[in-house]
């Protein structure tokens, strides 16, 4: 019943520039001013690697080439304490002007019931009305006192016609999920969380609105859904608002504490009772709430009645965002039953194999009222407790166990490593401390450092050679290491031995190690017949010594080797006499013999290494040297690290023991990136977060594209990785809980203005950052309600870091952070436990978010609206094979061009068909197909509540068959559904053949792998041209393997989709009524799909 676009009324869009209403949130963020009016840069982009550096003074400019270590020192001085760690400013998408959230709710009253929503709607508020012609009108919307109609003004229509009857409403959608929003020219400037649509009439017309804030949109959506679902007795809502199970429970709690039975208690007792029910509440806030309630009743007393107690608890302890969620998933009730909870866990939380009994068990464990536990429903307080529990943690519990293959060579893993492990302060003045080893080993560190020097009484010591005041006895240190070596992980521990001892004391070192470590010490000579290092699985419970070794074949008791002193190396490189040979030290045979798999050698260049380096030899790189190599030879560095271990240590110029960015070197495949554990901050956050995965065992398997012998990967890739399907990460920051004041803040009260930064770390193409608006003066439960999308090109290397900061800080802005690998994210509604600056979990301090990860098919640049923008066949970009210049090989690869196009088309067509179904169901791209079927089933119901379509299994595929007349608008949805089933069927039935063709080309190409140099010589290729041919060959093999894997995964996904659709149809009652045979047939088809799925996993696909 939407009014016409034409006429005399002047739209908001014509009174101001089209984007004026939204410009405040879209302008680039300027440098803010401090209290003295000086420019203040909030976050900087200092990085050890990259083309952009921030120099003292805050200006951006090209990276200084001559002296990288000196630059690091200067940059460290200029960098704010919690600087941004995104390297490339072009990827920082936090280009929004600081915005402040003012609640639209009267007197800051929280929404805690449907009555509150309806009262707000009756009072009315301004909403923007969006028309298909891209015009936007400001209108004042109200709900009639009798709850029968929605009205708006001003309007050129009569007052009686500028309305929408509640009885005509079919659906209420939150978000930009109608054609009007999708086709509106200003859609990109409208917040997803502020948009809502009222679908009405038999033709499913839409009234599309934009609220001033997400909380207002949620109030209208929740209130209207409640009215539509209870249109027959709406007045009961107001009468029974205080007769809910929640109030019955609160009254019982009050009466149990009311020892006199007078229905009244002292305010002190009531405050203690509420704090007992909700320990996170501040006493001052509870007392203030009681005073507000009593003031509204014009009474002044220190006693609290039962009704006042219930009212205060409801207003203080109801989180509006959780209430809105509960109403949404409970089909507009104010509690969840077991079926509601089951659907929530399956469709939103991604939980599989959930049963009704499991849901009832959750209700029994979390519901606070006796009535709820007996009747099997979960009210708002129990639901809040469940969402805050460890069962809804953002970290996938599967990854708290060993989930990766631990039988690969040691060089195929990232290894948790510590630098100067003996330090707990800075490396210039810090004394050696045994607690450095205790801390590192308890954090699953698998590579620790021991700098050993001569000590008194012929007893070696470990010390900071810049501060000799508190040396540690070497014997005591390795006794602690022996005790804790496998405390947190049973996988091998590498001891990086910095030997600065005389030959005499070296022999004492050997004696202590052999006596204390015993058979844990790995000293077996490496086998020359092998090509790779042993696996972590094979080296379980073993301690490996890394150090210098005497040359093979020399039967001597001692000899000279080059010094492994990191500081000496840096001094040598910074000195004028750069070409000076490194100094030599004496090494005894006994210590040399302890070194087996990790013999230290000096790096010269990759060509020399690939020809002459043995797999048991490893190089250590200074931060500056590794940065240079990563920039100049990124592909070679990755290939080198497929076979050999690399260790990267921080620059000696980091006298404050600051940390390098480990991601820069992980991107190159460097396994051992040594970190200063004693220095907290963003870099240590990344390191700690990364090694939480794989059971926190200290070993993380690298992506296959960085392990396969023949594969192409560049650490500096700026686009899609060949053979890897990009993913889209959808993050909604909903709210925060109990944020503390920044630790280092000074001259400021307890009030903070929080905002959230979301940082993505990974390959350069994935590194980006976005931020929410600022919520003013709210630390207890700030509501952000903002959604973000990030395209992730290499998910296996990506991490997401949530940082909460204070926008009105003095001295320190940091509130809390949490860093997690993308692979460990759980989808759905999750609470993130925030960590302090030093990495400790802060009690009750959380961030409430919604997470979804979807596929983005098709290659090319990220679409503005992700999956909701389909890529047509003409615009589709295919991953292309490269010409090697070797005719016999190029002829083989040409045979793969058509199968690769077929594979891409099948995957794209299925994805596009799925998106069409979701759009026509009024759902966002992140919705599941089960949610689509539920939405569809509610529409396809006749007047007598019988379904107008039925599930019809044809060759094990779930088609929907009309049982009578279906409205035209629903015919479009059914047609899109049929197309989705058809495209899925094509993929499932033809994937094997196409996959075989791709694999055959890959195998045929690999037969020439060993002959590439000879073939190139015959074709006259040499030098750079030959290297380019070999690189193109690796690229093509990577593409073929990756596209084959993507097709295999797409087929498995399609099979799973068919299974989920069938289960959803059966649970929604879309099987033919009264047909036992049909149900039996559907069950047999489901079993057939499951068998086909299992068979494919065990067979070719």
**Of 302-316, 450-464, 604-618, 856-870, where does mean pLDDT reach its minimum?**
856-870
pLDDT-derived band at 1000, boundaries 50, 70, 90:
very high
For position 807, what pLDDT does the model report? 87
Question: 949 exposed, middle or buried (CB, 10 Å; 0-12, 13-18, 19+)?
Answer: buried
Give me the mean pLDDT over the 122-148 stretch.
89
For position 942, what pLDDT does the model report? 63
Whether the per-residue pLDDT at 69 is higher than 70: the answer is no
- For residue 313, count other CB atoms closer than 10 A to its CB: 26
Which is more confidently placed, 762 or 188? 762
% pLDDT > 70, the chain = 81
For position 442, what pLDDT does the model report? 95
DSSP state letter for 931: H
Give me the mean pLDDT over the 392-405 stretch.
94
Question: 504 exposed, middle or buried (CB, 10 Å; 0-12, 13-18, 19+)?
Answer: exposed
* CA–CA dist 668, 639 (Å, integer): 9
If we measure between CA atoms, which residue out of 690, 624, 631, 619 comes closest to residue 660?
624
Whether the per-residue pLDDT at 651 is higher than 50: the answer is yes
For position 936, what pLDDT does the model report? 82
For position 581, what pLDDT does the model report? 67
Give me the mean pLDDT over the 126-154 stretch.
88
Give me the mean pLDDT over the 937-952 stretch.
75
Q: Each residue of 489-537: pLDDT tens digit?
A: 999 999 999 888 999 999 999 999 999 999 999 999 998 888 899 999 9
Q: Each residue of 299-342: pLDDT tens digit?
A: 777 888 998 999 899 989 999 899 989 988 887 788 899 989 99
Q: Each residue of 257-275: pLDDT tens digit?
A: 988 888 899 999 999 999 9
* CA–CA dist 337, 172 (Å, integer): 22
For position 580, what pLDDT does the model report? 57
**Of 43-52, 480-489, 926-935, where does mean pLDDT reach its minimum?**
43-52
How far does Cα 100 stand from its chain's mean position?
A: 26
Whether the per-residue pLDDT at 27 is higher than 80: the answer is no
Sign, CA dihedral 255-259-263-269, equals negative
N-term to C-term CA, the chain: 52
How far does Cα 814 stand from its chain's mean position?
A: 20
Which is more confidently placed, 763 or 1079? 763
Whether the per-residue pLDDT at 77 is higher than 80: the answer is no
| Whether this model's pTM surpasses 0.75 | yes
* CA–CA dist 827, 825 (Å, integer): 6
| 691 Cβ contact partners less than 8 Å away, ≥ 6 residues apart | 414, 416, 443, 444, 698, 700
Q: Are 748 and 810 in contact (CB under 8 A)?
A: yes
Whether the per-residue pLDDT at 4 is higher than 80: the answer is no
**Of 92-96, 495-499, 725-729, where does mean pLDDT reach its minimum?**
92-96
pLDDT-derived band at 1073, boundaries 50, 70, 90:
very low
- For residue 197, count other CB atoms closer than 10 A to its CB: 24
* CA–CA dist 934, 946 (Å, integer): 15
Structure tokens at 827: 């989808």
Most confident of the ranges 197-206, 326-335, 438-447, 943-952: 438-447
* CA–CA dist 881, 899 (Å, integer): 12
Bridge-partner residues for 125, per DSSP? 141
Whether the per-residue pLDDT at 180 is higher than 60: the answer is yes
Q: Each residue of 793-842: pLDDT tens digit?
A: 999 999 999 999 998 777 788 999 999 999 999 999 999 999 999 999 99
Q: Are 338 and 332 in contact (CB under 8 A)?
A: no
Whether the per-residue pLDDT at 42 is higher than 70: the answer is no
**Of 286-300, 511-525, 623-637, 886-900, where does mean pLDDT reach its minimum?**
286-300
| 511 Cβ contact partners less than 8 Å away, ≥ 6 residues apart | none
For position 103, what pLDDT does the model report? 39
What average pLDDT does the structure give for the chain?
Answer: 81
Give me the mean pLDDT over the 782-790 stretch.
92
For position 24, what pLDDT does the model report? 35
* CA–CA dist 84, 42 (Å, integer): 9
Cis peptide preceding 910, ω within 30 of 0: no
Q: Each residue of 550-588: pLDDT tens digit?
A: 888 777 888 878 875 555 555 555 554 545 567 788 899
If we measure between CA atoms, which residue out of 602, 599, 564 comes closest to residue 452?
564
For position 25, what pLDDT does the model report? 35
* CA–CA dist 1001, 1003 (Å, integer): 5
For position 430, what pLDDT does the model report? 75
Give me the mean pLDDT over the 881-905 stretch.
91
Q: Each residue of 658-672: pLDDT tens digit?
A: 999 999 999 999 999
For position 31, what pLDDT does the model report? 38
Count of all residues that appear for the chain in the document? 1101
Give me the mean pLDDT over the 183-204 stretch.
85
Which is more confidently placed, 252 or 53? 252
If we measure between CA atoms, which residue out of 971, 963, 911 comes closest to residue 936?
971
């Amino acid at each position: 019943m939407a009014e016409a676009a034409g006429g005399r009324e002047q739209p908001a869009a014509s009174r101001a520039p089209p984007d004026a209403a939204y410009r405040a949130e879209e302008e680039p963020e300027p440098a803010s001013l401090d209290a003295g009016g000086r420019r203040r840069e909030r976050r900087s982009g200092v990085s050890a690697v990259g083309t952009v550096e921030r120099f003292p003074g805050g200006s951006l400019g090209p990276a200084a080439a001559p002296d990288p270590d000196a630059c690091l020192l200067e940059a460290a001085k200029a960098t704010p304490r919690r600087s941004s760690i995104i390297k490339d400013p072009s990827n920082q998408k936090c280009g929004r002007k600081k915005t402040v959230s003012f609640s639209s709710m009267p007197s800051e009253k929280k929404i805690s019931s449907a009555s509150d929503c309806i009262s707000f709607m009756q009072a009315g508020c301004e909403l923007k009305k969006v028309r298909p012609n891209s015009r936007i009108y400001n209108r004042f919307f109200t709900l009639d006192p009798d709850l029968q109609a929605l009205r708006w003004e001003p309007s050129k229509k009569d007052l009686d016609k500028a309305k929408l009857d509640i009885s005509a409403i079919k659906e209420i959608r939150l978000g930009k999920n109608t054609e009007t929003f999708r086709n509106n020219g200003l859609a990109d400037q409208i917040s997803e969380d502020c948009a809502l649509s009222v679908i009405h009439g038999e033709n499913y017309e839409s009234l599309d609105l934009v609220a001033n804030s997400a909380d207002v949109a949620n109030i209208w959506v929740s209130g209207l859904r409640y009215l539509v679902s209870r249109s027959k007795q709406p007045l009961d809502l107001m009468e029974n608002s205080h007769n809910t199970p929640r109030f019955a429970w609160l009254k019982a709690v009050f009466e149990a504490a009311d020892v006199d039975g007078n229905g009244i208690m002292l305010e002190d007792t009531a405050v203690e009772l509420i704090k007992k029910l909700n320990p996170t509440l501040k006493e001052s806030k509870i007392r203030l709430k009681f005073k507000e309630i009593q003031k509204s009743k014009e009474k002044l007393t220190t006693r609290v009645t039962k009704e006042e107690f219930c009212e205060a608890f409801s207003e203080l302890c109801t989180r509006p965002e959780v209430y809105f969620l509960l109403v949404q998933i409970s089909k507009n009730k104010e509690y969840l039953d077991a079926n509601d909870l089951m659907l929530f866990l399956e469709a939103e939380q991604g939980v599989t194999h959930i049963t009704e009994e499991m849901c009832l068990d959750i209700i029994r464990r979390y519901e606070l009222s006796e009535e709820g536990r007996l009747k099997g429903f979960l009210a708002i307080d129990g639901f809040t407790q469940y969402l805050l529990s460890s069962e809804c943690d953002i970290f996938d519990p599967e990854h708290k166990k060993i989930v990766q293959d631990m039988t690969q060579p040691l060089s195929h893993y990232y290894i948790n490593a510590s630098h100067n492990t003996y330090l707990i302060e800075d490396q210039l003045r810090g004394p050696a401390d045994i607690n450095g080893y205790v801390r590192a080993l308890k954090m699953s560190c698998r590579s620790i450092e021991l700098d050993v020097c001569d000590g008194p009484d012929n007893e070696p010591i470990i010390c900071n050679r810049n501060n000799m005041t508190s040396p540690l006895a070497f014997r005591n240190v390795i006794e602690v290491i022996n005790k804790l070596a496998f405390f947190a992980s049973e996988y091998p521990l590498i001891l990086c031995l910095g030997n600065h001892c005389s030959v005499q004391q070296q022999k004492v070192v050997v004696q202590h190690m052999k006596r204390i470590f015993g058979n844990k010490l790995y000293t077996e000579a490496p086998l020359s017949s092998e090509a790779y290092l042993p696996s972590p699985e094979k080296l379980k419970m073993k301690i490996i010594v890394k150090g210098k070794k005497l040359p093979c074949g020399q039967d001597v008791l001692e000899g000279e080797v080059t010094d492994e002193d990191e500081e000496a190396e840096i001094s040598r490189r910074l000195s004028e006499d750069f070409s000076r040979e490194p100094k030599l030290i004496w090494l005894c045979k006994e210590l040399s013999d302890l070194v087996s798999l990790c013999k230290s050698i000096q790096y010269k260049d990759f060509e020399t290494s690939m020809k002459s380096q043995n797999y048991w030899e490893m190089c250590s790189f200074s931060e500056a040297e590794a940065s240079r190599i990563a920039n100049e030879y990124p592909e070679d560095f990755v290939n080198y690290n497929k076979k050999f271990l690399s260790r990267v240590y921080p620059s000696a110029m980091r006298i404050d023991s600051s940390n390098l960015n480990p991601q820069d070197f992980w991107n190159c495949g460097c396994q051992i990136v040594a970190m200063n554990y004693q220095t907290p901050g963003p870099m240590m956050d990344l390191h700690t977060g990364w090694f939480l995965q794989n059971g926190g065992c200290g070993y993380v398997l690298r992506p296959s594209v960085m392990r396969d012998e023949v594969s192409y990967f560049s650490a500096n890739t700026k686009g899609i990785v060949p053979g890897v399907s990009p993913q889209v990460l959808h993050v909604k920051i909903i709210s925060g809980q109990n944020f503390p004041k920044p630790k280092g803040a000074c001259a400021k009260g307890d009030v903070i203005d929080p905002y959230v930064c979301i940082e993505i770390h990974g390959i350069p193409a994935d590194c980006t950052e976005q931020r929410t608006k600022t919520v003013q003066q709210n630390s207890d439960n700030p509501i952000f309600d903002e959604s973000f999308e990030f395209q992730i090109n290499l998910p296996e290397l990506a991490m997401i870091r949530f940082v909460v900061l204070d926008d009105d800080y003095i001295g320190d802005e940091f509130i809390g952070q949490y860093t997690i690998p993308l692979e460990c994210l759980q989808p759905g509604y999750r609470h993130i436990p925030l960590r302090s600056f030093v990495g400790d979990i802060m009690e009750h301090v959380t961030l409430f978010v919604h997470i979804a990860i979807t596929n983005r098919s098709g290659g090319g640049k990220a679409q503005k609206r992700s999956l909701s923008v389909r890529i047509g066949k003409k615009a589709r970009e295919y991953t292309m094979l490269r010409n090697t210049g070797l005719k016999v090989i190029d002829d083989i690869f040409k045979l793969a061009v058509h199968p690769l196009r077929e594979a891409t088309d099948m995957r794209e067509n299925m994805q596009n068909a799925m998106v069409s179904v979701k759009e026509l169901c009024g759902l966002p791209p992140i919705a599941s197909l089960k949610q689509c079927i539920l939405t569809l089933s509610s529409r396809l119901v006749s007047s007598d509540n019988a379904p107008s379509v039925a599930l019809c299994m044809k060759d094990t595929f779930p088609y929907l068959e009309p049982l009578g007349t279906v409205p035209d608008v629903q015919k479009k949805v059914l047609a899109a559904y049929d197309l989705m089933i058809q495209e899925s069927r094509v993929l499932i039935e033809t994937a094997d053949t196409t996959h075989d063709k791709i694999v055959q080309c890959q195998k045929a190409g690999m037969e020439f792998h060993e002959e590439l140099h000879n073939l190139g010589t015959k074709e006259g290729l040499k030098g750079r041209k030959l290297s380019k041919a070999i690189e193109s060959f690796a690229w093509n093999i990577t593409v073929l393997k990756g596209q084959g894997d993507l097709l295999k995964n797409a087929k498995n996904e399609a099979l799973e989709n068919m299974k989920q659709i069938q289960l959803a149809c059966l649970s929604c009652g879309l099987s033919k009524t009264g047909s036992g045979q049909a149900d039996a047939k559907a069950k047999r088809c489901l079993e057939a799909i499951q068998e086909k799925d299992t068979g494919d996993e065990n067979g070719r696909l």
